[in-house]
Copies of this chain bind each other. A is one copy, B any other.
Amino acid sequence: MRDPETFFRALSDPTRLRCLLLLMAEGRLCVCEFVHALDLSQPRVSRHLGHLRDLGIVLDERRGQWVHYRLHPALPQWAHDVLEAAFQAEGLRDIRQRLASMPDRPSAACD
């Protein structure tokens, strides 16, 4: 992650912000879990995750037919602090509940 303003622009989209806050809460998720939790189209989620990957904010890892995403381990402390502050402000309750109600979650299966 380069400069703060690029990071803030990444967080200025509701899809991307929710993806990142979900990752903070859950640690690691695959695309179909984002799609279910956020109730958005697959291309939309995939495009935004790809954007976050290109910026070095998240890291992807293929496991069989699934691709798992997590926060990039090299994310600087100030970026973590920003995400933490956003997490305070954002509800996120209903979204995490919808994720929990997803049947046959791939992340739960493997490890």
Of chain B, the residue at the smallest CB distance from A82 is B85
| A17–B4 alpha-carbon span in the complex (Å) | 9
Assuming the contacts A82-B82, A82-B86, A85-B81, asked whether A4 and B8 have C-beta atoms less than 8 A apart, the reply is: no
Q: Are B78 and A86 in contact (CB under 8 A)?
A: yes
A19 contacts partner chain B, Cβ-Cβ < 8 Å: no
Main secondary structure of the interface of A (DSSP, over half): helix
Q: How far is the CA of A6 from the CA of B8 in the complex (A)?
A: 10
Query: A88 at the A/B interface (Cβ < 8 Å)?
Result: yes
Nearest B residue to A11 by beta-carbon distance? B8
Most buried by B among A6, A79, A85: A85
Q: Residue-by-residue, is A1-15 near B (CB-CB < 8 Å gives 1, otherwise 0)?
A: 001111011011110
Complex CA–CA separation, A14 to B3 (angstroms): 10
